[in-house]
């Protein structure tokens, strides 16, 4: 079968188990080859192929609503719903999204990107169907890694005693991005089901089943004991071999034909079918382009900002690093023999735990992806910032983020932290400032502090100076215009004005909060038109803070803000900058009009 000729999942209904296994193998080969050219989430998608094929065989999408938690593992779903021909554009600008996208297909019924949301969304779908008197199945597909997030258990707890029906598929590959941690991962390893009991439930007539139910439940309790899901009110089936099409179909049909909510525990192998991915599941979670034959990556060894920041933190004595399941993503391998605590996908817990350590005079580094820090807002504000505790928060993937799309953009964190008292926000433009800011954050500063850094490569240099107070730095002196920015954008702006012979004062606002009042006063005094350039949203931005301060002064100047007006979609950074009018040519156009 030519995958490019698939227009929808209806053709699966007439296929035998052997034919579906053959199709799964074909999809696996296609994904290995295709993702080698575009990059993407490989290992997780290789592990869920048979399960996705079986889901579309048994259920009638989009009438039956399938919601993928996080959504990065939806590639087979996209192929089966007619999008294989678009895979050469996967995650590229204006191309196929790497996550479910409602604008792409009616089969993508809910957009995901962050962890542990699928069950809550499914509960909403079930309730809407009840109110609309619609009979159809709602299926949430969630990984065991996402089950470490509290939101998933809030939803399971809420819905457990509900008389309506929902199907939850737990895709258990013992991984999220990094290896799963905590008591829950141990529970998944230990859960087993009495096969005879399952056979009895699924095969005997209803009236016999009812007569035997009390006896069967009693026997099962003493033999196995109820697992946590059954105690919460769900039928539990599994573990099921996630690569056995026949077994998957049998259990999915069993779930489809029952009136009670069901949890099916499916065991899968992350990276299945591609040896390099099976041997290193963490490294192959999300990848750039690679050689299919050798499994080698052309950009291995490049120093990234996350690696640089981790190296800088490693110089701090007796520091405890807390991560929400992002050891690999945040390049924290340096700390594996030190005080590194992986709490699972539990950003709020990580923040409040950091507060508990800090109040006991422990040095704490708490790195988040910018987009995931949003999930810990209350804990950061209430437990860290309100108490003015000395926690250093790393904000990785700050600013425009390539390829992963609108669910992963790091454009809101400055707005979030600017609303908080007692906290400082900084962003280094290069490795020198990274070391200096990290030294300041841990050894001079005494309250909470945020250090932002983008997803990009960086040139490493040795630190030669110290920062002893929140301050800006004047990087370039000129006569015609002032430019204010921070982070690596400062370096880019210097190149733009030098290349185009623009006489500019360039101010490196390495401290976004508090602003350097002396420098802003200098800008007001010189009276030159001023550009404030940021790749974040305007609300709560540095630009707004500066304008607010300037409004208290008698002298006023012309100030132009360049920032993001809408959430960027997926694509390379260069294309996204052009689309949002933040590219070099757009900067030049603004400077010439000032």
pLDDT tens digit string along 362-409? 999 999 999 999 999 999 999 999 999 999 999 999 999 999 999 999
pLDDT tens digit string along 444-456? 999 999 999 999 9
The average pLDDT across 344-361 equals 97
Catalytic residue chosen out of the listed positions 57, 270, 272, 397: 270
| Whether residue 510 has a cis bond before it, omega within 30° of 0 | no
In this predicted structure, what is the pLDDT of residue 161? 85
- Beta strands at 65-68 and 511-513: parallel, antiparallel or unpaired: unpaired
pLDDT tens digit string along 459-517? 777 666 789 999 999 999 999 999 999 999 999 999 999 999 999 999 999 999 999 99
Catalytic residue chosen out of the listed positions 28, 57, 281, 375: 375
The average pLDDT across 238-260 equals 96
Most distant pair of Cα atoms in the chain: their distance: 91
pTM of the model: 0.89
Quick one: pLDDT band at residue 206, thresholds 50, 70, 90? Answer: very low
Identify the CA nearest to 325 among candidates 361, 375, 275: 375
- Collapsing DSSP to helix, strand or coil, 539 comes out as coil
pLDDT tens digit string along 282-316? 889 889 999 999 999 987 678 899 999 999 999 99
What one-character DSSP code corresponds to residue 149? S
In this predicted structure, what is the pLDDT of residue 187? 57
In this predicted structure, what is the pLDDT of residue 461? 73
Identify the CA nearest to 532 among candidates 589, 500, 490, 484: 484
pLDDT tens digit string along 208-248? 444 434 434 433 444 456 678 888 999 999 899 999 999 99
User: Is 270 a residue of the active site?
Assistant: yes
The tokens 């099916």 sit on which residue?
Answer: 264
Catalytic residue chosen out of the listed positions 50, 347, 534, 569: 347
- Lowest-confidence range among 129-138, 327-336, 366-375, 534-543? 327-336
pLDDT tens digit string along 529-552? 999 999 999 999 999 999 999 999
Let me know: does 387 contact 422? Beta carbons within 8 Å: no
User: Is 386 a residue of the active site?
Assistant: no
pLDDT tens digit string along 141-195? 999 889 989 999 999 999 998 889 999 999 998 754 445 555 555 555 555 334 4
Averaged pLDDT score across all residues of the chain: 91
The answer, yes or no, to whether residue 77 has pLDDT greater than 90, is: yes
pLDDT tens digit string along 90-100? 999 999 999 99
In this predicted structure, what is the pLDDT of residue 463? 63
Domains and CATH numbers, the chain: 3-191+227-275 (3.40.50.970), 194-226 (no CATH), 305-452 (3.40.50.970), 473-593 (3.40.50.920)
What are the distances in angstroms from CA 156 to CA 74, 142, 237, 266?
A: 22, 12, 16, 17
Q: For the chain, what percent of residues have pLDDT higher than 90?
A: 83
The average pLDDT across 21-26 equals 98
In this predicted structure, what is the pLDDT of residue 465? 78
């Amino acid at each position: 079968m030519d995958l490019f000729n698939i227009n929808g999942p209806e053709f699966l209904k007439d296929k035998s188990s052997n034919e579906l296994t053959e199709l799964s193998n074909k999809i696996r080969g296609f994904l290995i080859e295709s993702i080698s050219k575009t990059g993407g989430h490989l290992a997780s998608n290789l592990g869920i192929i048979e399960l996705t094929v079986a889901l579309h065989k048994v259920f009638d999408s989009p009438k039956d609503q399938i919601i993928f938690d996080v959504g990065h593992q939806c590639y087979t779903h996209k192929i089966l719903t007619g999008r294989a021909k678009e895979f050469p554009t996967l995650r590229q600008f204006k191309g196929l999204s790497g996550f479910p996208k409602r604008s792409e297909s009616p089969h993508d019924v809910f957009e995901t990107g962050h962890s542990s949301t699928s069950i809550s969304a499914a509960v909403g779908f079930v309730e809407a169907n009840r109110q609309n008197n619609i009979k159809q199945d709602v299926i949430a597909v969630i990984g065991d890694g996402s089950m470490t997030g509290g939101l998933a258990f809030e939803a399971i707890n809420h819905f457990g005693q509900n008389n309506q029906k929902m199907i939850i598929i737990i895709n258990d590959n013992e991984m999220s991005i990094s290896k799963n941690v905590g008591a829950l991962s141990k529970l998944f390893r230990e859960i087993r089901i009495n096969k005879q009991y399952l056979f009895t439930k699924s095969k005997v007539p209803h009236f016999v089943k009812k007569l035997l139910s009390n006896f069967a439940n009693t026997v099962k309790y003493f033999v196995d004991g109820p697992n946590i899901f059954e105690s919460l009110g769900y039928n539990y089936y599994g573990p099921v071999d996630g690569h056995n099409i026949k077994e998957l179909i049998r259990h999915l049909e069993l779930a489809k034909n029952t009136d009670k909510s069901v949890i099916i525990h499916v065991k899968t192998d992350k990276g299945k079918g591609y040896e390099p991915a099976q041997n290193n599941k963490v490294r192959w979670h999300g990848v750039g382009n690679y050689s299919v034959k050798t499994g080698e990556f052309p950009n291995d060894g490049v120093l990234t900002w996350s690696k640089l920041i981790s190296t800088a933190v490693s110089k701090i004595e007796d520091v405890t690093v807390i991560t929400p399941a992002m050891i690999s993503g945040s390049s924290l391998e340096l700390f594996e023999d030190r005080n590194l605590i992986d709490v699972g996908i539990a950003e709020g817990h990580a923040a409040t735990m950091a507060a508990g350590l800090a109040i006991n005079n422990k040095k704490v580094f708490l790195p988040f992806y910018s987009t995931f820090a949003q999930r810990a807002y209350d804990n950061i504000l209430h437990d860290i910032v309100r108490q003015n505790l000395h926690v250093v928060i790393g904000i990785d993937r700050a600013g425009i983020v390539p390829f992963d799309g609108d669910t992963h953009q790091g454009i809101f964190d400055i707005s979030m932290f600017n609303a908080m008292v007692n906290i400082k926000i900084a962003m280094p433009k290069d490795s020198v400032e990274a070391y200096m800011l990290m030294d300041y954050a841990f050894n001079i500063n005494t309250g909470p502090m945020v250090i932002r850094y983008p997803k990009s490569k960086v040139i490493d240099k040795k630190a030669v100076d110290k920062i002893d107070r929140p301050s800006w730095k004047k990087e370039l002196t000129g006569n015609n215009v002032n430019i204010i920015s921070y982070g690596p954008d400062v370096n880019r702006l210097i190149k733009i004005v030098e290349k185009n012979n623009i006489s500019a004062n360039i101010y490196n606002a390495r401290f976004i909060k508090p602003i350097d009042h002396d420098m802003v006063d200098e800008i007001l005094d010189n009276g030159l038109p001023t550009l404030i350039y940021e790749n974040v949203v305007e609300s709560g931005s540095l630009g707004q803070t500066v304008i607010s301060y300037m409004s208290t002064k008698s002298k006023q100047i012309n100030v132009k803000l360049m920032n993001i007006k809408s959430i960027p979609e997926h694509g390379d950074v260069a294309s996204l900058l052009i689309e949002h009018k933040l590219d070099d040519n757009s900067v030049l156009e603004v400077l010439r009009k000032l």
